[in-house]
């Protein structure tokens, strides 16, 4: 019976549609606000037909013949629907034009596919200029006629009202988008027993959190959204939609006007509140909405849906940690805190966790987390996180896997991304590269079948893609929605047919105008990251993977982990056995990666220097570095270039530089075209190595500095290098120190100085030149007019040769650095330098340590220092001071305002002069930063003044008092350490320290906030006394700011129990 009634109704409706077709064929274009009688008849008839069809479709959709669907599609229903809505408002003002409850700023429209939907052609228009859908006033659709006679003012107003209505029908009213919205409490719909069956729905957010709400099955999706939003405290709901989560499938977006019962939503269903069309909001003032924006972005970043660089991934993870955990705590936030890779993957995307071990990633996160201390406002952190993520080239883009060609016939898998400003497509042949096509360059798209769609880009062949049916629908729906919003706001977006009418779009004025996507900003895949990954892959046999294999990847099977992970041991620092424990040995891969990480973690960081000292660099490491630089250069067109290598430091590597190594160095020079500094100090070059190196340097014309000290290249190797570099006019600095050169080598260098007018720096210390060699250099220095820095320490010349040398040097007012330590200058030479200081020289560094200059020369230097305004470093260690010389220096220190570094070790300073010198630091001198008074015994009175210096002086950062103090004197020093606010390094080695002194020192260290390195070697401290110090610190160790405590040469054995006890201390304690 029901079927027969439906068939009769269909036949009657078919007859009415045929009549409407004939009637419409004879009508003129409908006028804006005053349709004629024939138009009104069409409108009324169409209203009745649509009501009947709605009832029929609700009863049985399958009963509607395809011919009826075709007829409805062939009618120009879009303008008629709009006119219908207008007429309904006139006929039935008490009821809404559409039985729809939509979110603020959205009005649903039919999602029925149409064969050719034009956004402009669908608008209600009238002469003289036909207006496009959503277009700003005055923007006419191309191809429409323009007449000279314009409508009167009333007609213009009617046209604007009609245009505004159509814009509202597509996007919603726009009045409240021009100013920040005010909080309006949501009123959820009540659940009534007689209205449908009750449902207990599980509602969720993108982070996995859920809540239960009670609704009825006759609630619309929008009713459910309002009910859930009120539970969350969310009132700015304009940006959000509901989707049904379907395991193993993509989420299904729900229309806000449809009842949940019609979608088949059950109590086992899970609905998720999230953003469908992702754009930057114009006004986001609701803190809950801000948090939801952050959660969706953070979830996409961590899941790999927004592929970003390693640097940005770590930066975002640090911000997420600050949001969730607050300020960094060194005792708490250290490797192991995350508890494994599963927890770490809640902070960083899989492409990072699969490349590196957990502790390596943790250290990088914690290093950046420490820089966020003090940022506790969550709203500010949310916005900062969003702003950082917005720099990702794929930010806001939905990524899909598609095949370029049929999959069964070997189609190429590509990534298609859809965003507010266009589409992104990976290239077929070039891995890791992609093209971006804005909406302004698009020519349309269509659905060829359920699994095939085509995209047309102006100036490009038609793209045909294959994908699953639900994926095709999502892609076309997103493209259509984003295109219409862009079309509404950007006059440059063209008009073309689209295969779907929009479903339910937020109003474009809700959002900021989109900006051109910056595909090469500071956070894109950078050349430095390419260098790092390639270096690591070559060095550690890590298989290279294309970054785009991780696009839109939410998870990676654990079976793949072993194919990608590279285990890099944590950085191990080992003392090289010297008493100073200054140099460290580090594995090459760790040392270089640490440098790259530090550069990547800096805002706008650029790698300008490669430092691989003490790394045992050999042939394999050279190859890895070259491969990395080549890979980075090859991708420089598509990647952000943050590599500008100007200095290469390979010093102190114990593998001899053979001819093969020299060849690699030549290749490195070619790979770094702006390299200015090459440091090969202490690499065991030898004579033959220098000859081989000279062969690759012959053609180099860009190198500015060459350092080959401590390589025993001898005179022959020096001759080869000098000859090779003869044509390089850019080279201005040479370091040939400690190479076993004789007077013949000095003659070669003297000739180079004489012929090369560009040399400014010459370091020749620790070579046995003698007086003859100095005389050879004398002629070269005399002829050279550009020399600024000269180092001749330990070159074994006498006072006679020194006198001639100093005569030439003192005639050069522009020289800035003179180092003559451990040579016999004599009293005359010292007096000449003292006079030189008063002659208006520009000298900044003067090293006369152990030069036997005598007390008269010291007095002359003191007078010169009093008048000099350029010297910043003065080293006079090892020269015996009498009372007059010491007093002259102390008085000069009171008057001088430029000296920053003063070394007076082992000078036998008289106690009265020492008292005056220390007193000057307490009251008058405010520039001295480094002071070495070691092995100058101080009495208690001087020590007390030094304690006052530490308490009040704000410039002194490094103080060496080795072997200066008795236990009473040390006690006086300790009183000033606790309140000092400038000292960074303090050396009390060799000073007597009793239990009372150690207890006072332990308290002072807890109070000090700047001291980083404390040396207390050979201070008569035993294991029992040190245990008492630890007992003093145990409950307050979190207050310790000192980073290194050196207790070498004390009677302390680092037992396993002691090592375990100090393991959790935030300070490195050394016992050897």
Q: How far apart are CA 402 and CA 451, in angstroms?
A: 10
Per-residue pLDDT band at 770 (split at 50, 70, 90): very high
Q: How far apart are CA 922 and CA 917, in angstroms?
A: 9
Q: Which residue has the higher pLDDT, 107 or 951?
A: 951
Query: Tens digit of pLDDT for each residue in 41-62?
Result: 444 455 555 555 555 544 444 4
pLDDT at 82: 30
The structure's pTM equals 0.66
Q: Is the dihedral of CA 616, 618, 624, 629 positive or negative?
A: positive
Q: How far apart are the first and last CA of the chain?
A: 101
Query: Tens digit of pLDDT for each residue in 220-260?
Result: 999 999 999 999 999 999 999 999 998 877 788 898 989 99
Please state whether the peptide bond connecting residue 899 to the residue before it is cis, i.e. omega within 30 degrees of 0: no
- Residue 18 near residue 10 (C-beta atoms within 8 A): no
Per-residue pLDDT band at 305 (split at 50, 70, 90): confident
Query: Tens digit of pLDDT for each residue in 955-1013?
Result: 999 999 999 999 999 999 998 999 999 999 999 999 999 999 999 999 999 999 999 99
pLDDT at 78: 37
Q: How far apart are CA 531 and CA 596, in angstroms?
A: 9
CB under 8 Å to 966, separation ≥6 — which residues?
940, 991, 992
Q: How far apart are CA 844 and CA 868, in angstroms?
A: 10
Mean pLDDT across the chain, nearest whole number? 79
Q: Do domains 398-495 and 948-1071 have the same CATH topology?
A: no
pLDDT at 14: 62
pLDDT at 298: 96
Nearest by Cα to 123 from 56, 212, 32, 203: 32
pLDDT at 543: 36
Query: Tens digit of pLDDT for each residue in 779-837?
Result: 889 888 899 999 999 999 999 999 989 988 888 889 999 999 999 998 899 999 999 98
- Domain residue ranges in the chain: 196-277, 398-495, 809-936, 948-1071
Judged by average pLDDT, the poorest of 1-10, 85-94, 185-194, 269-278 is 85-94
Q: How far apart are CA 947 and CA 1004, in angstroms?
A: 12
Query: Tens digit of pLDDT for each residue in 589-634?
Result: 677 888 888 888 887 889 999 988 887 787 888 888 999 999 999 8
pLDDT at 338: 93
Query: Three-state SS string across 379-418, please?
Result: HHHHHHHHHHHCCCCCCCCEEEEEEECCHHHCCEEEEEEE
Q: How far apart are CA 693 and CA 720, in angstroms?
A: 9
User: What is Dmax (Cα atoms) for the chain?
Assistant: 130
DSSP string, 565-602: ----PPP--EE-S-TT---EE--HHHHHHHHHHHHHTS
677 beta partners: 647, 705
pLDDT at 539: 67
May I ask the CATH class of domain 948-1071? alpha beta
pLDDT value at 354 more than 90? no
The average pLDDT across 285-290 equals: 96
pLDDT at 275: 92
Nearest by Cα to 59 from 106, 1, 111: 1
pLDDT at 401: 87
Q: How far apart are CA 122 and CA 729, in angstroms?
A: 73
Q: Give the right CATH number for 809-936 from 3.90.550.10, 3.80.10.10, 1.10.10.10, 3.40.50.11890.
A: 3.80.10.10
Judge: domain 398-495, CATH 3.40.50.1580: no
Write 965-970 long-range contacts (CB < 8 A, 24+). Answer: 965/938, 965/991, 965/992, 966/940, 966/991, 966/992, 967/992, 967/993, 967/994, 967/997, 968/940, 968/943, 969/938, 969/939, 969/940, 969/942, 969/943, 970/943, 970/997
pLDDT at 103: 36
DSSP string, 525-572: SBHHHHHHHHHHHHHHTPPP--GGGGTT-----GGGHHHH----PPP-
pLDDT at 662: 85
Q: How far apart are CA 404 and CA 455, in angstroms?
A: 11
Architecture of the 196-277 domain = Roll (3.10)
pLDDT at 561: 28
pLDDT at 431: 66
Q: Which residue has the higher pLDDT, 304 or 369?
A: 369
Q: How far apart are CA 932 and CA 957, in angstroms?
A: 11
């Amino acid at each position: 019976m029901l079927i027969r009634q439906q068939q009769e109704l269909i036949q009657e409706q078919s007859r009415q549609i045929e009549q409407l077709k004939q009637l419409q064929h004879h009508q003129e274009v409908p006028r804006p606000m005053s349709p004629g009688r024939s138009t009104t008849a069409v409108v009324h008839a169409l209203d009745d037909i649509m009501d009947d069809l709605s009832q029929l479709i609700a009863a049985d959709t399958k009963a509607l013949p395809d011919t009826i669907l075709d007829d409805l599609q062939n009618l120009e229903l879009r303008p008629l629907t709009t006119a219908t809505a207008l007429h309904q408002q006139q006929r039935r003002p008490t009821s809404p034009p559409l039985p729809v409850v939509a979110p603020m700023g959205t009005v649903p429209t039919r999602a029925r596919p149409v064969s050719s939907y034009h956004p402009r052609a669908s608008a209600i228009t009238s002469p003289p200029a036909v207006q496009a859908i959503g277009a700003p006033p005055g923007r006419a659709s191309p191809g429409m006629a323009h007449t000279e006679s314009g409508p009167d003012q009333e007609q213009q107003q009617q046209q604007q009202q009609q245009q505004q209505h159509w814009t509202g029908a597509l996007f919603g009213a726009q009045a409240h988008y021009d100013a920040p919205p005010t909080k309006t409490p949501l009123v959820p719909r009540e659940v009534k027993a007689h209205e449908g069956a009750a449902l207990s729905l599980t509602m969720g957010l993108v982070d996995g959190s859920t809540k239960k709400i009670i609704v009825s099955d006759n609630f619309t999706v929008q009713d459910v959204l309002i009910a859930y939003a009120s539970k969350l405290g969310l009132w700015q709901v304009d940006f959000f939609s509901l989707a049904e989560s379907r395991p193993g499938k993509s989420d299904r977006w729900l229309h806000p006007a449809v009842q949940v019962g019609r979608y088949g939503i059950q109590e086992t269903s899970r609905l998720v509140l999230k953003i469908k069309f992702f754009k930057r909001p114009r006004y986001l003032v609701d803190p809950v909405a801000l948090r939801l924006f952050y959660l969706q972005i953070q979830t996409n970043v961590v899941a790999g849906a927004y592929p970003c660089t390693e640097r940005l991934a770590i930066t975002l993870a640090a911000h997420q940690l600050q949001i969730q955990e607050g300020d960094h705590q060194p005792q708490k936030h250290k490797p192991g805190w995350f508890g494994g890779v599963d927890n770490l993957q809640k902070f960083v995307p899989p492409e990072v966790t699969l490349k590196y071990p957990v502790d390596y990633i943790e250290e990088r996160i914690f290093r950046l987390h420490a820089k966020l201390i003090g940022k506790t406002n969550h709203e500010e952190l949310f916005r900062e996180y969003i702003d950082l993520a917005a720099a990702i080239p794929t930010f806001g883009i939905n990524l899909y896997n598609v095949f370029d060609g049929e999959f069964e016939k070997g189609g190429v898998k590509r990534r298609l991304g859809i965003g507010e400003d266009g589409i992104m497509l990976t290239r077929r042949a070039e891995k890791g590269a992609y093209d971006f096509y804005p909406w302004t360059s698009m020519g349309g798209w269509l659905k060829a079948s359920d699994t095939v769609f085509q995209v047309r880009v102006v100036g490009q062949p038609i793209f045909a893609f294959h994908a699953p049916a639900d994926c095709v629908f999502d892609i076309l729906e997103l493209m259509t929605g984003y295109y219409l919003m862009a079309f509404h706001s950007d006059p440059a977006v063209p008009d073309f047919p689209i295969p779907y009418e929009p479903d339910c779009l937020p109003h474009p004025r809700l959002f900021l105008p989109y900006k051109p996507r910056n595909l090469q900003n500071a956070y894109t895949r950078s050349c430095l990251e390419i260098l790092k990954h390639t270096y690591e892959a070559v060095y550690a046999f890590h298989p290279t993977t294309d970054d785009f294999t991780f696009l839109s990847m939410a998870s990676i099977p654990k079976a793949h982990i072993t194919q990608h992970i590279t285990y890099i041991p944590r950085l191990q620092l080992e003392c090289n056995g010297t008493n100073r424990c200054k140099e460290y040995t580090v594995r090459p891969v760790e040392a270089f990666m640490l440098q790259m990480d530090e550069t990547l973690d800096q805002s706008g960081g650029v790698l300008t220097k490669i430092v691989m000292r003490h790394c045992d660099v050999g042939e394999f490491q050279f190859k890895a570095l070259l491969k990395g630089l080549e890979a980075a250069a090859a991708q420089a067109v598509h990647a952000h270039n943050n590599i500008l290598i100007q200095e290469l430091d390979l010093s102190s590597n114990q593998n001899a530089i053979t001819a093969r190594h020299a060849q690699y160095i030549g290749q490195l020079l070619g790979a770094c075209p702006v390299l200015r500094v090459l440091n090969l100090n202490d690499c065991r070059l030898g004579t033959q190595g220098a000859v081989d190196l000279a062969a690759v340097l012959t053609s180099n014309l860009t190198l500015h500095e060459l350092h080959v000290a401590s390589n025993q290249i001898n005179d022959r190797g020096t001759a080869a290098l000098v000859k090779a570099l003869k044509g390089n006019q850019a080279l201005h600095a040479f370091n040939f120190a400690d190479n076993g050169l004789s007077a013949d080598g000095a003659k070669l260098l003297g000739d180079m100085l004489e012929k090369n007018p560009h040399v400014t720096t010459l370091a020749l210390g620790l070579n046995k030149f003698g007086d003859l060699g100095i005389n050879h250099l004398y002629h070269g220095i005399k002829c050279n007019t550009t020399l600024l820095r000269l180092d001749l320490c330990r070159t074994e010349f006498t006072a006679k040769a020194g006198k001639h040398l100093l005569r030439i040097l003192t005639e050069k007012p522009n020289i800035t650095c003179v180092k003559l330590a451990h040579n016999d200058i004599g009293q005359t030479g010292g007096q000449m330098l003292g006079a030189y200081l008063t002659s208006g020289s520009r000298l900044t560094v003067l090293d006369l340590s152990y030069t036997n200059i005598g007390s008269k020369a010291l007095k002359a230097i003191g007078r010169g220092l009093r008048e000099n305004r350029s010297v910043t470093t003065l080293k006079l260690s090892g020269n015996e001071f009498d009372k007059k010389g010491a007093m002259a220096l102390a008085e000069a220190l009171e008057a001088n305002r430029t000296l920053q570094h003063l070394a007076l070790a082992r000078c036998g300073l008289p106690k009265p002069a020492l008292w005056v010198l220390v007193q000057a630091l307490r009251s008058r001198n405010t520039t001295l930063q480094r002071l070495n008074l070691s092995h100058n015994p101080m009495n208690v009175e001087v020590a007390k003044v030094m304690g006052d210096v530490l308490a009040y002086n704000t410039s002194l950062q490094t103080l060496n008092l080795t072997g200066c103090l008795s236990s009473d004197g040390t006690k006086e020093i300790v009183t000033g350490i606790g309140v000092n606010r400038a000292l960074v390094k303090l050396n009390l080695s060799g000073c007597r320290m009793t239990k009372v002194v150690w207890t006072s020192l332990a308290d002072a260290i807890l109070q000090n906030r700047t001291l980083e390195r404390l040396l207390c070697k050979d201070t008569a401290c035993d294991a029992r006394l040190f245990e008492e110090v630890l007992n003093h610190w145990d409950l307050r160790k979190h207050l310790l700011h000192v980073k290194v405590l050196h207790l070498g040469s004390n009677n302390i054995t680092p037992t396993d129990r002691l090592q375990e006890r100090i393991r959790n201390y935030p300070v490195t304690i050394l016992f050897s």
